[in-house]
Amino acid sequence: MLPNRKSIRLAGYDYSQSGIYFITICSYGKLPIFGSIRNNIMRLNRLGKIVQEELSKTAVIRSNINIDEFIIMPNHLHSIISITDSTGTARHAHTNEKFGRPVQGSIPTIIRSFKSAVTKSAHELGLFIKSQIWHRNYYEHVIRNEEALERIRNYIITNPENWSRDTDNPDHSGKNLFKVWLDQYNIFKSIDNPNY
């Protein structure tokens, strides 16, 4: 019997509708397989470059998707993804989405397609043929205002220079002020699940 898996989605939120999302996707076991940081600069290896290429393609093949800001780190990536309506406006819509039922153009479907594309490209190049690349889940947060958007953009841009304090870094130390801010806004509470 398979264990019951708890949904990491925000209850009652339609992830196929227009909105702006902060996404974090980790490597399997949080292993540093995408490259390394030297002198506060992220240096992508071949797999990291595949991740970057496939993330860029995500917006190209879906006309209503925009990749705002992103960074690929040694063992994870952060991205701001916006889904726009037909007028190009990002906005939020609260309806019911059933967990486990793929919806075309939704955040879960976009992430699943992205992960699959990276894995396929890596296998075609002989990388990670017998190894798993991705952690099963991912972290998402619905960005609700301009202040949050700017803070998250800044965090993404400065992530390499703050790697020593990044909680996704196995050797981190010190306080990560961004995560403190997230906690204050209840982002790591039940409204947006941190089990990525």
Residues whose CB falls within 8 Å of the CB of residue 37, separated by 6 or more in sequence, listed in order: 43, 73, 74, 160, 163
Given a cut of 90, is residue 193 above it in pLDDT? Answer: no
Tens-digit pLDDT profile for residues 38-94 = 999 999 999 999 999 999 999 888 888 899 999 999 999 999 999 886 544 444 433
Percentage of the residues of the chain whose pLDDT score is greater than 90? 47
Displacement of CA 171 from its chain's centroid (Å): 21
Q: Domain residue spans in the chain? A: 19-184
CATH architecture of structural domain 19-184:
2-Layer Sandwich (3.30)
Go through 45-61 and write b for each residue having 16 or more CB atoms within 10 A of its CB, e for each that does not: eebbebbbebbeebbee
Cβ contact 52:44 at 8 Å: yes
Dist CA 127 CA 119 (whole Å): 9
Cβ contact 86:94 at 8 Å: no
